[in-house]
Amino acid sequence: MPTPRSRKPPKPSPALSGPEPVPHYDGAAGWRRWVVYQIYPRSFADSDGDGVGDLRGIISHVGYLHRLGVDVVWLSPVYRSPMDDNGYDISDYTGIDPLFGTLADLDELIAELHARGMKLVMDLVVNHTSDEHPWFIESRSSRDNPKRDWYWWRDTPTNWESHFSGPTWTWDETTGQYYLHIFSTKQPDLNWENPEVRQAIYAMMRWWLDRGVDGFRMDVINMISKDTSLPDTTPRPGSPYGPGDQYFTCGPRNHEFLLQMYREVFAGRDAHVLTVGEMPGVTIPEAVLFTDPARHELDMVFQFQHVDLDHGTNKFDVIPLPLPDLKAAMADWQLGLAERGWNSLYFGNHDQPRSVSRFGDDGPHRVASAKTLATVLHLHRGTPYVYQGDELGMANAPFTAITDFRDIQTLRYYAEAAERAGTDLPALLAAMARMSRDQGRTPVQWDASPGAGFTTGTPWLAINPDHTTVNAAAQVGDPGSVFEHYRRLITLRREDPVVTDGDFELLLEDHPAIWAFVRRTSDAELLVAANFSADVVAASLPLDADWAGASVVLTSLSDDPQQPPPDLKLRPWESAVWRRSRT
């Protein structure tokens, strides 16, 4: 009798699988036209009814991804892991966790994607491992073990604060020293100063590329180079710990390590290897260096400026975000990387709440605002990332109790806050319901069935009750749906080089409701205008009157805007794209 893992994936409904577009790739820099779709496997599709998404569940929906039109699938970690941080604590870099399937399943997924002209990018977590990785087990076994210096050990800890609350150093009884972990105690930091560590990582990366993987998204890759003096930082008021990020982000050898990685892993390969580095705290000048093609480090970085704007003292201290601030942050990166480098474009991912709830309107204007967010994002210059479910307009779930959450970051922060006198726990819970990483991790809503088409069992994280109306089955093929709008955006990128190559000019930067900009090449221009409010808004754009005759190439509503540019009138959460030639 076959095991649940070996049976064929469930057959998707015809409505979700075809007809399918055919992606195309052109030229040495053709990768700049690609659209990336992020899959958080635990929440994508469950094939065996255990409530957790898996590789065979993904395989069953490859046709859906192809119909959407994406070029690249980025897979969050599926490596063997104790799952302290849902797979970002890796105990075997070349093994697949049985929770997700087998290496043969991954090989099949790669083959299915390649057969449709799509590529697979793996998440790569090499700033740290799990404390259950054989390297760390050896390292902590004795002070004279050959792998002792593969990690950071000290007699006296610094006062750095962990990104998951508490100290970054934990005492190890066996050898009588502290080890460094910027994140969980079960995620000890690798010592990239040791050349043996680097060579082991490079060998592992080559192994995956030789197996058919097409690139890597590199988790917190700007933390691999530390200030080796490990100085103390300024503690937070009332705490013995403080942020030490200035001593372990974009460190003194970061560029050297990435250049070496390029030489030893990526150089000389027949096809382009897509590389993106997640870099909390990276600045524009630093990002230019990391992504300058002439330097051979990375294709692009994930920066955090725009998703930190509504954070006060921490992510759960939620503050208002005026639209001009968001526009300015995005424009800064457009202009900063205009001549050299490349942007990654995202509003949501597995570490962020749902974008339509955060930046849009998840109430009566959910569909319109989801389309408008996508239009604005995809028409910026850079590589757009579609996070699973955003193409359906999925919204935050109604979490009300701490037992609703599963995220280690949220749970540890709440536990620490509960121990402090005077904490307003109901207010903290409300903030967590808005900003927790769990909001981006609720299961994908495939249909209106009790398990949302995600699982026949009990889901690991509660399914949003709105799945009865917000789901893929209801949207695929419906011209007015969020899904079909995403398809049109992706097609526009593929067909019009202005989307990829055009310069960027922000208009009405101080307007509180209108987000408008022009993309321009030598022979054509695109005008993007969007209303980020629930009201009808009129605005006069600083453009010539000839724009009134421009062609409408994309709209978020079923008809064209009521008044053409330059004197616009846009309905609630309406957006549109106009095109004209420059001959």
Residues assigned a catalytic role:
219, 278
DSSP secondary structure, 287-318, as one string: HHHHH-GGG-S-SEEE--TTTSTTBSSSTTSB
Paired with 123 in beta bridges are 217
Q: Give the distance, in angstroms, between the CA of residue 162 and the centroid of all CA atoms in the same chain.
A: 21
Query: For the purposes of burial, counting CB atoms within 10 Å of the CB of 166, is it exposed (0-12), middle (13-18) or buried (19 or more)?
Result: middle
Nearest Cα neighbor of 281 from 300, 267, 302 is: 302
Q: Is 452 left (phi over 0), alpha (psi -120 to 50) or beta?
A: left
Alpha-helical (H) ranges within 12-126 are: 55-59, 62-68, 103-115
Interatomic CA distance for residues 481 and 460, integer angstroms? 28
Q: Is 57 in a helix, a strand, or coil?
A: helix
Q: For residue 335, report the phi and psi dihedrals to the nearest 5 degrees.
A: -75, -35
Nearest Cα neighbor of 380 from 346, 404, 410, 405 is: 346
Q: Which residue, chain included where needed, has tokens 């793996």?
A: 122
| Total residue count of the chain as it appears in this document | 583
Vertex 152: Cα angle to 150 and 153 (nearest 5) = 115
Interatomic CA distance for residues 243 and 238, integer angstroms? 14
Alpha-helical (H) ranges within 148-253 are: 195-210
Both tokens of 407, joined, read: 């995220």
